[in-house]
Chain A
Amino acid sequence: MLQQYQLNVGFDEMLDPRKGVRSHYRKFHKLFDDVTPAEFAAKRQAVDTAFLRQGVTFNVYGDAAGAEKIFPFDLLPRIIPASEWEHLERGLTQRIMALNLFLHDIYHEQKILKDGVIPEFYVLSARHFRREFVNFSVPKDIYIHVCGTDLIRDKDGHYLVLEDNGRCPSGVSYVLENRRALKRAFPGMFEGIGVRPVENYAQELLKSLKYIAPAGVGDPTVVVLTPGAYNSAYFEHTYLARQMGIEIVEGRDLFVRDSRVFMRTTKGPQPVHVIYRRIDDDFIDPTVFRKDSMLGVPGLINAYRAGNVSLANSIGTGIADDKVMYYFVPRMIKYYLDQEPILPNVPTYLASEEKDKKYILEHLPELVVKAANESGGYGMLMGPKASSEEIEKFRQLIIAEPRNYIAQPMIFLSQHPTYCEDGFEGRHVDLRPFILSGERTSIIPGGLTRVALRKGSLVVNSSQGGGSKDTWVLYGDE
């Protein structure tokens, strides 16, 4: 079925312009040849139905009918050979180490600022810098326990880091569910091709959560704290809780007494020791952060400070995925680890640097402009695709608040054959591996491959018409 697939402009994950199918795709390509269009259609149908039935869905805001939509899933897997994955693993491990060291530093001695490696102004002015937590030591010195780092490939196939998500990265439930779906659809392929399993993510996550339990607690109670049933990622929260076999709680299920956290159960209050929270800092405790928060737990921060409960991720990690701070990550790696970055950044311009600002304002139609603290594809300008009004609007925004904007050249993400209405076409993809920091750093082999289903689109977010693929990391290179 893939015979008609044509090479497009840009880097293609499967096809080499000169040598044809890349060696790590060959086995799959051969096996997939035996699948007839009718079989493929039936498999697609079966997978979609299974997702809807099981509720592998995300909520659509503002839909009064309470409709839940499935995250579109493309059956063709994205394949990564072993040597390439080792390279990514080393790069991601290096990066998360540097970020954790950076967070520890800026919440303690601030050496990196004093040594002038990062201008002090950028850190102190960051929206997600929590000065309340300066000199507070987090359990085991781990700040980011779960990180979802977005990687893209440029036109030559080099991997670049697009952003680090160190607050509440989501999407891992799709990694696990996509794999289950593909195993059902193509049961014969896995053994022959040699695909590394992803199943033990939940155990690894639980292990890293238990690792940070307060001292002296033998068998800690771990819970997932969700904003509630109206959050877009509610499915994932319940999914992870079920997989780990722990309770999923809302803020109102918890209360604090004598700086200890309890959950309300039908058998009375039960102590809670570790909270995997999927609520932003701002909402987590109305007595400390936003007073109008109805999702948080009054007194939680006090219990956290007293060392009676641990939080993952820690408070104040948002500073590390501020898009301005991103610019400095290569410097952090050099400063803390004395190494060269294994995975480079996308070239970035800071609007608050006079020289860069001038460049940005002169080249707006060619650049991608991003707000420093937004995520999910919001607050963005895609220069080459924007109307002149949009460009003007961003010009004013940048002039008014330069600290809040960065700009990057447009990167043509790599493409991957994807099923579209008229057969298989190339669609742009990125990759979000999930990195767990506990006793050791572990990375789920692969991660979430997101695909922009609209032709030519470079935006892969689910809220903006993106879908996903299963990601296969091979035991070998072929």
Chain B
Amino acid sequence: MLSRVANSLYWMARYIERAENIARIVDVNLQLLLDVRNLDEKRLTAYWLPIVQATGDEEAFFKGHGQATGNAVTEFLVFDLQNPNSLLQSICQARENARMVRDQITLELWEELNRLYLFARSAHAREVWRRSASEFFQEVKASSLHIIGIINATLIRNEGWWFILAGQFLERADKTTRILDVRYQSLPERGMPEPITPDTALEWSAVLRSCSAWDAYKTIHGADVHPRRVAEFLLLSDVFPRSVRFCASELNLALRRISGVAEGRFTNDAEKLTGRFLAELQFSTIEEIFEIGLHKYLDDAQLKLNNVGAELFRAYIYQPFENPDEVHMVQQEEQQQQ
């Protein structure tokens, strides 16, 4: 498979996953604020700032905005085209990557992704947003799930398929660690968390809902929400499809299918780092992780996932395939097809 094609499929999947995660995290926070009383500006910032920090774009945010108010953060994360990781920009990037490999994906996939893109960019989307932000996010989340379903139901299981899966699970693992990290300031730097108040419990259930994990969590632990269990569930569960361990396991499988290497061996650093990361998750307890400190552990996990992405790129893609700039596009158009 051409490296460019593999790269585009991988990024298409990552950006779809990214858009959906942003939709969930912002949506849940908006709903959480409805339940909080006595909101002054300072308390509001305490709810919105961690969301910006979770996306990893704190620096970019403060370049354009003085304060983490609700409006500023949602605008930055959802519609801001200057923010390369905003929801809208993620959808644009996903579609752009799909367009580059239009012949390699199915019509159903292209049509749905294109529909989502046209919706997100339309004036209609802004109207929906003003009327009810939740409805807007519902549209994005539903479309993302629809796309994942189409990918599952229509694409042939070739190398490209495994690149899509690699992108999807790498991004999902990363986003789960970031969402779990949103409430780190309420935790001790190291050691197990204290028993919590009902207000804090609300915040931790918001973390679960941001990962679409609320129902799954209740199935296993009942409605008793505690940071220890939430962290254990989102990091170490081997049955919940958004936990970091589950994602690492799927990523590991995808990478081995791409190269054809047997389990327990590796042919490139992406495989090596993923295997190591997975083993660590498989053979750790949540007590050990809290001993290290959850925030620090999550920070490390993000770094490891970043390195996997970089090594995957080095192993298969060779050189940056940047999206075409305007000159490039104009030249394509200029080619005379007689």
Which residue of chain A has the shortest Cβ distance to B329 in the bound complex? A230
- Contact A227:B332 (CB < 8 A) given known A53-B107, A55-B102, A266-B316: yes
B residues within 8 A CB of A229? 99-100, 102, 332
Chain B residues within 8 Å of A278, by CB: 335, 337
How many cross-chain pairs have Cβ atoms below 8 Å apart between A and B?
102
Contact between B4 and A250, CB atoms less than 8 A apart:
yes
How far, in angstroms, from A170 to B338 measured CA to CA in the complex?
6
B-side contacts of A279, CB under 8 Å: 335
Q: Within 8 Å of chain B (Cβ to Cβ): is A242?
A: yes
Q: Which of A71-79, A161-169, A179-187, A360-368 contacts B (4 or more CB under 8 A)?
A: A161-169
Contact with A along B88-107 (1 / 0, CB 8 A): 00000001000110110001
**A264-B4 contact given A232-B333, A238-B102, CB 8 Å threshold:** yes
Q: Which of A232, A241, A321 has the most CB of B within 10 A?
A: A232
- A66/B114 in contact, CB under 8 A: yes
Q: Which of B99, B316, B333, B337 has the most CB of A within 10 A?
A: B337
Asked if B132 CB lies within 8 Å of chain A CBs, one says: no
Binds A, one of B47-55, B176-184, B320-328: B320-328
A59–B316 CA distance with the chains assembled, in angstroms: 31
User: How many angstroms between the C-alpha atoms of A169 and B336 in the bound complex?
Assistant: 9
Contact of A376 among B4, B110, B163, B336 (CB under 8 A): B336
- Whether the Cβ atoms of A292 and B327 lie closer than 8 Å is yes
Any A CB within 8 A of the CB of B3: yes
Q: Which residue of B lies closest to A266 (CB)?
A: B316
Within residues 72 to 117 of chain A, which ones have a CB less than 8 A from any CB in chain B? Answer: none
Q: Is B159 an interface residue (CB 8 A)?
A: yes
Of B2, B321, B324, B338, most A-chain CB atoms within 10 Å? B338
Which chain A residues numbered 222 to 256 have a C-beta less than 8 Å away from chain B? 227-234, 236, 238, 241-242, 247-250, 252-253
What sequence of 0s and 1s flags, for each residue 304-335 of chain A, a beta carbon within 8 Å of any chain B beta carbon? 00000000000000000100000000000000
Classify the interface of chain B: helix, strand, loop or mixed: helix
A133 within 8 A of B: no
Q: B159, A168: Cβ atoms under 8 Å?
A: no
A429 CB, min distance to chain B CBs, angstroms: 18
Establish whether residues A248 and B103, one from each chain, have CB atoms under 8 Å apart when the complex forms. Answer: yes
Set A167, A234, A241, A266: member contacting B6, Cβ < 8 A? A266
Q: Name the B residues within 8 Å of A234 (CB-CB).
A: 102
Q: Find out whether the CB atom of B4 lies under 8 angstroms from the CB atom of A280.
A: no
Minimum distance in angstroms from A453 CB to a CB of chain B: 20
B337 CB, nearest partner CB in chain A, Å: 4
Q: Which chain A residues (39-77) contact chain B, with CB distance < 8 Å?
A: 53-55, 61, 65-66
The contact of A233 among B159, B324, B334, B337, by CB within 8 Å, is: B337
- Are B338 and A253 touching (Cβ within 8 A)? no
**Contact status A253-B4, CB under 8 Å:** yes
Instruction: State which size class the interface on A falls in.
Output: 35 or more
Is the Cβ of A263 less than 8 Å from the Cβ of B321? no
In the bound complex, CA of A294 to CA of B3 (Å):
18
- The answer to whether B332 touches A231, judged by C-beta atoms less than 8 angstroms apart, is yes
Name A316-358 residues within 8 Å CB distance of B: 321
**Interchain CB contact under 8 A, A280 and B333:** no
Contacts of B258 in A (CB 8 A): 266
Q: Which of B4, B103, B163, B338 contacts A168 (CB 8 A)?
A: B338
Tell me if A253 and B2 are in contact (CB < 8 A): yes
CB atoms of A295 and B3 under 8 A apart: no
Contacts of B319 in A (CB 8 A): 264
Flag B296-338 by CB within 8 Å of A: 1 or 0 each. 0000000000000000000010110100100111011111111
Chain B CB within 10 A, most for which of A167, A230, A295: A230
A431 → chain B closest CB, angstroms: 15
Residue B1 CB within 8 A of the other chain: yes
A438-465 CB contact bits vs B (8 Å, 1 = yes)?
0000000000000000000000000000
A280 to B333, CA, bound (A): 11
Is A426's CB within 8 Å of the partner chain B? Answer: no
Q: How far is the CA of A66 from the CA of B95 in the complex (A)?
A: 10
Residues on A with C-beta less than 8 A from B99 are: 66, 229
B44 adjacent to chain A (CB < 8 Å)? no
Q: Mark B1-37, 1 if CB is under 8 A from A, else 0.
A: 1111010000000000000000000000000000000
Say whether A472 faces chain B, with CB atoms less than 8 Å apart.
Answer: no
Is B118 on the interface with A (CB-CB < 8 A)?
yes
Q: Which residues of A contact B (CB under 8 A)?
A: 53-55, 61, 65-66, 148, 165, 167-170, 227-234, 236, 238, 241-242, 247-250, 252-253, 263-267, 278-280, 283, 292-295, 321, 375-376
Q: Which residues of B are interface residues toward A (Cβ below 8 A)?
A: 1-4, 6, 95, 99-100, 102-103, 107, 110, 114, 118, 159, 163, 258, 316, 318-319, 321, 324, 327-329, 331-338
Q: List 7 A-B contacts (CB under 8 A).
A: A230-B324, A238-B102, A250-B4, A253-B3, A264-B4, A283-B331, A293-B331
Top-8 shortest CB links A-B: A238-B103, A165-B338, A170-B337, A233-B337, A230-B332, A227-B332, A264-B3, A227-B335
